[in-house]
Structure formats: C-alpha cells, structure tokens
C-alpha cells in the first residue's frame, strides 16, 4: 500500500500507454499528476499559486462565528494551473533546455 502518482502521456509510448491515465510509484509517490507532452517533455500538473488563501477577520461582515477556524476564502490569482518541466526521465536530459523554455 501507499501513495502513487498519476501520469498521462501524449507522447507515443505504444497503444496501451498513450492517452490513458496510468499510476506509478516511480516518481514522487505523493499523489501528484504528471503529463508527458507529444515531444517527450515531462511536466508536473499543479494548481500551486492559482489561488490565495485569505482569512476572513472578525470585523468582516462575512465572518461567521459558527465556522470558527474555517473563516477563509480562496481568491483566484489568474495564474493557469500548469507546472513546469521536471527532470525525472533519464532520456529527457538530452532536450531538457527545450522543455524548460516553455
């Protein structure tokens, strides 16, 4: 048992492994999501920095004393939810600069 990551490949890995969602324990093992682009670049898909966590203060009219520590809201930052290239595949090192430039 344990955690695993999801990976989807748009790169041709053969008919059984292309454009399907797969599970792996060979990457971060932290329930992350990865995508292999058609040109073979590996990306971590993430929602980091897409929202800000803002606490609703006691003096704010939206504050609800029944919610206790749950008085907060998520504010969109306008940043799309996509990650950058990651160096996890040995074969990706040859064109790492091309992947990182995107």
What is the CA angle 98-99-102, rounded to 5?
95
Domain boundaries, the chain: 1-46+82-102, 50-77
- Sequence length of the chain is 102
Q: Which two tokens stand for residue 68?
A: 């206790």
Question: Does residue 34 contact residue 9 with C-beta atoms inside 8 Å?
Answer: no
Reported pTM: 0.56
Q: How far apart are CA 9 and CA 40, in angstroms?
A: 8
The pairing of beta strand 33-36 with beta strand 5-9: parallel
Question: Does residue 50 contact residue 29 with C-beta atoms inside 8 Å?
Answer: no
pLDDT (tens digit per residue) in 70-101 = 888 888 877 665 555 444 444 444 445 556 55
What pLDDT does residue 63 have? Answer: 92
């Amino acid at each position: 048992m344990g955690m695993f990551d999801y990976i989807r490949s748009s790169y041709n890995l053969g008919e059984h492994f292309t454009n399907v969602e797969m599970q792996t324990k060979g990457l971060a093992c932290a329930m992350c999501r990865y995508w292999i682009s058609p040109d073979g670049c590996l990306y971590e898909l993430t929602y980091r920095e897409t929202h800000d966590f803002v606490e609703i203060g006691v003096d704010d009219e939206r504050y609800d004393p029944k919610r206790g520590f749950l008085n907060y809201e998520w504010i969109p930052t306008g940043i799309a939810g996509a990650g950058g290239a990651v160096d996890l595949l040995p074969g990706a090192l040859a064109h790492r600069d091309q992947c990182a430039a995107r």
